[in-house]
Structure 1
Amino acid sequence: MRQMIHEFLRITDGITMGDFLGWILAAISGIIVYKLIDHFQTSMERHAMLKEVEDSFSAIYDSIIAKSNVNTKGKKLESVMVRSVLHDKCDWQVKQNTDGKMKNSHNIEDSQLYIQIRNYKENDRNCNEWISSQALHEIMLLCRRIEKMYKDKIIRRIDLSDLFREIVPLGMGGRMQFFYAYYEKYDADCVGYLVLQTIVSCNKYHNYEIVKTFVNYYQKHEEIHKFFEESIRIRPIRDFFAVKKFKRILRRFS
Structure 2
Amino acid sequence: MMRRLTGYVLPGALVTVPLLLALAGPLVASGDTAKDVPFSLGGGHWLGTDFVGRDVWNEVLLGGRSLILIAVAATACTYLAAVPVGLAAGMTRNRVLDEVLMRPLDLLLAVPSMLMLLLLVSIAPHSPWVLAAVVALINIPDVVRISRAAALALSARPAVEAMRLQGESRIRIGLGYVARSMRRTLAADLGTRFTGATYLVASASFLGVGISPQAGDWAAMVDRNRGGLFVQPWAVVVPALLIVMLAVGVNLLFDRILRAEAR
Q: Give me the TM-score of the superposition, normalised by structure 1.
A: 0.25
Structure of greater Rg: 1
Higher relative contact order (CA 8 A, sep 6+): 2
Q: Give me the TM-score of the superposition, normalised by structure 2.
A: 0.25
More helix by share: 2
